[in-house]
Structure 1
Amino acid sequence: MIKIIKYTLQKTKLTRNYSKKLPNPLRSTKPRSIRPSVQNFIDSKSVRVIGGKGGDGCISFLHLWANERAGPDGGDGGNGAHVIFRASSNVKDLNHVLSVIKGEDGGKGMNKDCCGKNAQHAIVDVPIGTVFHDENGKIIADLNENGVLFVGARGGSGGKGNHYFITDIEQAPKISEYGALGEDLRYNLEIRSIAQIGFIGFPNAGKSTLLQAITRARPKIAPYPFTTLKPHIGMVQFDDYEQIAVADLPGIIPGSHKNKGLGFRFLKHIERCVAFVYVLDVSDENVLEKFEVLRFELTQFNKEFVERPQFIAANKIDLAGVKRNVEILKENCGLEVIPVSGKLGYNLLELLRKFRDVYDVSNFKVRNKG
């Protein structure tokens, strides 16, 4: 069956008309891990990279039968390995990247003009969108396409053996070179885009419960604030083999744009998401005021946030007496409101279809940019 989708591009909005329904999200056939430890999403890391040392040159003189002065035959050392970072779609975070990465040393030169072996370069895969900062905070590289390479530290060149230093005057040199040391540098790695959809809300709004209900992620859930200190990522799969990354981000409080609470540590994660979902606890009588605080904090940090796709997930709809608060949100917030319950799984299908709608529209904008 061919699905026909029509896009209409206006001045500031991109609307979508459907002649067929959206692809359906799939229920995961693989159960959640039963390991007691929970792996957090690592989106920033400081690493030290050391290039391999070049091999030393050799001092040797060839001795043959009936020719004791056959001449110098010391070979050159091999080159040390580079440390190379490669953008790959096969990795999602920096959890596998070591804090210290060292390239192999080159082989030493040997007699009979045998050169040392060049070391094999150390290639480290990082997610697409990884940005490299030096110790001063300057951006050195941005790996924004699959397969792009960045040489983090160059290996040292191999030293010359004494055969290299033969001249008309000096026929039997007794000197050679040491292999050069590799570069020793430090970088701060940061993933620019961690997810397409980011959950925004106050502590205990139900963001972690909602992420656990729609993905295989296992964020920490507890009845006290700031249980989420690092982002957790879950993948939503659809029947057309497309996947959408959804991030459970740390909770926001008033004054976050002034670095209060988690402050900039929280807001930097928001800056990398394509779309925002305000997860609001509709059992709170001041839910509309909290929504205004959330939007104010985001716009104070970055005014461009208002131009990104965003809508509201009115969570905890299963509690009694919340329908009035939902109606207040729909009438005053100016955004689409989707009532959901992460605990009981109410209306999650509509929420996931909205995710796909926003994802497709964003991809369409990127493909037709310029």
Structure 2
Amino acid sequence: MRIFYRLANSSTALIRVDKGKSKTVRASTFVDQLKLRVIGGKGGDGCVAFTKHFAKEYAGPDGGNGGNGGHVIFQPTKEISSLANIPSIVRADNGEPGKADNCDGKNASPTIIRVPEGTLIRNSEDRKLIIDLIESPFLAARGGLGGKGNKFFTTAVNQSPMICEYGSRGEIMNYFLEMAVIAHVGLVGYPNAGKSTLLSALTRARPKVASYPFTTLKPNVGIIPFDDFSQIRVADIPGLIEGAWRNKGLGHEFLRHIQRCVCLIYIIDLTWDPEKQLQALKNELNMYDPTLTEKPSIVVGNKIDLEDAQMNSNNFRTDLNISGKHSVNLKALISLVKDFYDESKEKTSNILL
């Protein structure tokens, strides 16, 4: 059995509320930064050889050329969401050497390294941005060219060259990979504001939920599917603290993950000074990147089921008051999020929709 949320724009959010989530604890290694070296394959050496035919002692040179070394290519994909499985050193295959009887060596196939969409490729020394991998692959290191065999060096003057070329070495490049979580909606709030609980209520994600702050140490992403085949990705960003824009704590590690979001949802804990929370959160975003505060946003008061929250909500204006724990007003929240998504789908070019 499924219970659907029918929204105002006639889309249906496919949220299964009657099915329990797995209790299995799976080991998860989330890596969003990685320094690595990529080495292009070496080209194959050329060959020195001469044709030997019956009754034709000097038939001429027939040494083949070596094959080209393989390239190293970064290919963005939606199928992976972490840099954890990428080795720190990537070496492409070498080209095969040339052989006698004019047999050229085989070119090595390129080594494809799959990275999450939206991975930033930076110079490893000065961290200068080289490319933002959204759709197109990136040639990280070229393979070396294959060497020429002695057949190539035959001239009218020298009919029997005894020389060939060594294959050239491939490029050696050092990169710093930085992953920015691609999500349509980013949940921003203080530690223990209820972001993980809300993400768990809206999606099938299983973030860690506990009664103490900083339970979320890495971004968690959940998906809200709709019956029109659209999907909205919601990211639970670890809680911000004052001074995060100065990289206090792990400020920059968290803030950079919301730069691609189309819409931000400020999750305000209504049990204590909601106005102070909202102003502090906006100040942190503005000091880090002024464009973040210009993004479409929704101010949501959470924990409305608590007595203190109900008292504070009378003096604090929000777009919506919810309770992630008890699923209060989630239908209205999904409707707001879907409206922002539809409005931004054609206007926004800095995120994969």
Q: TM-score, length-normalised on structure 1?
A: 0.84
Pick one of 66, 69, 72 that aligns with 1:77: 66
Write out aligned runs for 1:218-229 (5 A): 218-229=206-217
Aligned-partner SS, 2:218: coil
- 1:156 is aligned with what amino acid? G
Give 1:140 deviation, angstroms.
1.7
Equivalent-residue separation in structure 2 for 1:31 and 1:78 (angstroms): 56
Give 1:251 deviation, angstroms.
0.8
Give 1:31 deviation, angstroms.
7.0
Aligned-partner SS, 1:63: coil
Equivalent-residue separation in structure 2 for 1:161 and 1:35 (angstroms): 60
What is aligned with 1:140?
130
Pick one of 322, 328, 344 that aligns with 1:340: 322
Q: Deviations over 1:229-268 (max 9, x none)?
A: 2111111111111001111111111111222122222221
Q: Does 1:37 align with 2:26?
A: yes
Q: Check whether the contact 2:262–2:348 (CA below 8 A) recurs between aligned residues.
A: no
Q: Does 1:257 align with 2:242?
A: no
Q: TM-score, length-normalised on structure 2?
A: 0.88
What is aligned with 1:271?
259
Give 1:347 deviation, angstroms.
1.7
Give 1:20 deviation, angstroms.
5.5
Gaps of 5+ in 1: 1-18
Equivalent-residue separation in structure 2 for 1:328 and 1:24 (angstroms): 34
Q: Does 1:57 align with 2:46?
A: yes
Equivalent-residue separation in structure 2 for 1:21 and 1:67 (angstroms): 85
247 and 40 in structure 1: CA distance in 2 versus 1, 3 angstrom threshold:
farther
**What is the aligned-residue RMSD (CA, Å)?**
2.4
- 2:41 is aligned with what amino acid? G
263 and 321 in structure 1: CA distance in 2 versus 1, 3 angstrom threshold:
closer
Pick one of 110, 113, 120 that aligns with 1:124: 113
Equivalent-residue separation in structure 2 for 1:240 and 1:360 (angstroms): 12
Write out aligned runs for 1:226-245 (5 A): 226-245=214-233
Higher deviation after alignment, 218-227 or 243-252: 218-227
61 and 239 in structure 1: CA distance in 2 versus 1, 3 angstrom threshold:
same
Give 1:193 deviation, angstroms.
5.7
Equivalent-residue separation in structure 1 for 2:182 and 2:30 (angstroms): 9
Equivalent-residue separation in structure 1 for 2:172 and 2:159 (angstroms): 38
Pick one of 109, 116, 137 that aligns with 2:98: 109
Equivalent-residue separation in structure 2 for 1:23 and 1:92 (angstroms): 27
What is aligned with 2:288?
301
- 2:68 is aligned with what amino acid? N
Equivalent-residue separation in structure 2 for 1:33 and 1:161 (angstroms): 62
Pick one of 315, 319, 322 that aligns with 1:328: 315
Q: Check whether the contact 1:79–1:158 (CA below 8 A) recurs between aligned residues.
A: yes
Pick one of 149, 165, 181 that aligns with 2:137: 149
Equivalent-residue separation in structure 2 for 1:88 and 1:63 (angstroms): 52
Q: Check whether the contact 2:181–2:258 (CA below 8 A) recurs between aligned residues.
A: no
Once the two structures are aligned, what percentage of the paired residues are identical?
A: 45
What is aligned with 1:176?
164
- 1:179 is aligned with what amino acid? G
181 and 35 in structure 1: CA distance in 2 versus 1, 3 angstrom threshold:
farther
What is aligned with 2:331?
349
206 and 224 in structure 1: CA distance in 2 versus 1, 3 angstrom threshold:
same
What is aligned with 1:166?
154
Give 1:93 deviation, angstroms.
4.5
Equivalent-residue separation in structure 2 for 1:242 and 1:84 (angstroms): 30
205 and 232 in structure 1: CA distance in 2 versus 1, 3 angstrom threshold:
same
Q: Check whether the contact 1:41–1:233 (CA below 8 A) recurs between aligned residues.
A: no
What is aligned with 1:361?
343
- 1:315 is aligned with what amino acid? N
Equivalent-residue separation in structure 2 for 1:31 and 1:169 (angstroms): 83
- 2:279 is aligned with what amino acid? E
164 and 21 in structure 1: CA distance in 2 versus 1, 3 angstrom threshold:
closer
Aligned residues: 341
- 1:47 is aligned with what amino acid? L
Q: Deviations over 1:44-88 (max 9, x none)?
A: 433322211111111222222222332222111101111122344
What is aligned with 1:15?
none
- 2:57 is aligned with what amino acid? E
Higher deviation after alignment, 122-131 or 221-230: 122-131
- 1:271 is aligned with what amino acid? Q
41 and 360 in structure 1: CA distance in 2 versus 1, 3 angstrom threshold:
farther
Q: Deviations over 1:295-337 (max 9, x none)?
A: 222222222223211112222222234212122221xxxx52x
What is aligned with 1:187?
175
Q: Does 1:214 align with 2:199?
A: no
Q: Deviations over 1:22-43 (max 9, x none)?
A: 4121125997565522536544
